[in-house]
Structure formats: C-alpha cells, structure tokens
C-alpha cells in the first residue's frame, strides 16, 4: 500500500510538507500540479501519480463538493471524513452513500483499510489519496 497527500495548496505549502519528511509516497499540490480541485484534471493527476487504475485508488476528503463528488466522477473509491464545517454542512446522500467509508477521524482509517486487504483489488484501492493537510495510506 502506498500513501499520498494531495490538495489545493500553494507551492510554499508543498515545500513545507516535503521538508517534514512525512511517511508518504507522494505529495502533490494544486500549485505544483497546475490544476485544482474540483477539476477533473486534478483527479486525473491523482490517478497518474498512483500508477494504477482509478478504481484502485481510495481518495479521502472532507467535502462532498470539492473532494468526494469529483473523485467519484473520476472513478476513484472514496472515504468521507466528517470534520470541519464542510464535513457537516454539505449533505447529499446520493454522493455520501457511495463512499466506501465514513470517518469521524483519520485514526479510524488504518484499521478500516487493513480490514479490506483480503478483498480483491477491484473492491478496494491499494493506494490511498488524501486531501492536503490530511494523511492516509495511498498513491494517494
């Protein structure tokens, strides 16, 4: 499993994240990639960085409009983390019901993903991608 970190952040934020030597395989920002969420091009880049088919990438986000809906449209599996105002204000069951996981904390993610490793890759992505500022298993 690989871990990635990607989101709408500045080039400066990307430099800071890289300097932290986080245990992730990929760090990408909208500034560095030249595309931003919710653009389909951003999620195409996530898939390209993952190096595997879109349905094998789990994208973790806290916004239905900016993270989850466009990730699903790109064919990625999704996990919704309910935190911050957008994790509670936005509510669209047609999108949230399609999420593989619903989380209250990223601390829950490792155990949930570990419990899926016996499933075929088509049912759970090996890589995980998470929005900037949030870290999880991935490409990511």
* Superfamily, domain 3-131: HAD superfamily/HAD-like (3.40.50.1000)
pTM: 0.80
Residues 6+ apart with CB under 8 A from 40: 70, 73, 74
Taking only Cα atoms into account, the Rg of the chain, rounded to an integer number of angstroms, comes to 14
Task: Identify the CA nearest to 42 among candidates 137, 133, 131.
Answer: 131
Going by the DSSP 8-state scheme, the letter that residue 25 receives in this structure is S
- pLDDT, position 129: 53
Q: Check the CA dihedral 63-65-70-73 and report its sign.
A: positive
Residues 6+ apart with CB under 8 A from 45: 6, 28, 33, 35
User: Does 38 or 87 have the greater pLDDT score?
Assistant: 38
Mean pLDDT of 95-113: 88
Q: In this predicted model, what pLDDT tens digit does every residue of 121-133 receive, in sequence order? A: 444 344 455 543 3
- pLDDT averaged over the chain? 82
Of the chain, the percentage scoring pLDDT greater than 70 comes to 81
């Amino acid at each position: 499993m690989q871990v990635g970190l990607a989101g709408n952040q500045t080039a400066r934020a990307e430099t800071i994240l890289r300097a932290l030597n986080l245990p992730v395989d990929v760090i990408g920002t909208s500034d560095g990639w030249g595309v931003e969420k919710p653009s389909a091009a951003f999620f195409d880049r996530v898939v390209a960085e993952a190096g595997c088919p879109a349905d094998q990438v789990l994208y973790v986000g806290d916004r239905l409009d900016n993270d989850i809906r466009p990730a699903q449209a790109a064919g990625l599996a999704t996990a919704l983390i309910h935190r911050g105002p957008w994790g509670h204000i936005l509510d669209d069951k047609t999108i949230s019901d399609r999420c593989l996981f619903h989380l209250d904390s990223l601390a829950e993610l490792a155990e949930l993903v570990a419990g899926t490793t016996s499933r075929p890759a088509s049912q759970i992505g090996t890589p995980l991608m998470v929005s900037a500022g949030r870290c999880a298993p991935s490409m990511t």
